[in-house]
Structure 1
Amino acid sequence: MAKKDTKTYSEIKAMPGAEILKLVSDSRVKLRQMIFDLQAGKVKNVREIKNTKKVIARALTALKEIKV
């Protein structure tokens, strides 16, 4: 089986704030590219788009928790 590329909430929560911001930024760029590739018919694993959205949501949730 392939290694899971997604990060769990507890893994993200343990990261420093700057690293979480970088994760969000990188994931958004990756998501944007995957959506363009999907429209062009190049994406083979559509589930990866869903997983990337979840990573972004988890990271933003962790950031909000840190700032509270």
Structure 2
Amino acid sequence: MKAKEIRDLEDQELVEHIRTVRRDLFGIRFQHATGELENTAGLRTTKRDLARALTIAQQRGIDTSNL
């Protein structure tokens, strides 16, 4: 997701997006560790997407420590 698209999300949608991306990242990391991940670029892309979402949440003052 691009930063503009993330900024257009409502606060609750942003929190849900962060939860989803964290779950996806966990799955991708697990696949990478077991050697099942074919597209390793997806790991980098997912990390960046999470970082964008967390940055925007921090700018809005949303507490993401317990998500």
Segments of 5+ residues of structure 2 without an aligned counterpart are 63-67
4+ aligned runs moved over 4 Å, structure 1: none
- Taking every aligned residue pair, what percent have the same amino acid on both sides? 24
Aligned residues: 62
Root-mean-square deviation (CA, aligned residues, Å) is 1.3
Extract unaligned runs of 5+ from structure 1: 1-6
TM-score normalised per structure 2: 0.85
Alignment partner, residue 47 of structure 2:
53
Which of 39, 45, 63 aligns to 2:57? It is: 63
Aligned with residue 9 of structure 2, among 6, 15, 38: 15
- Residues in 1 aligned to 2:58 and 2:30: alpha-carbon distance in whole angstroms: 29
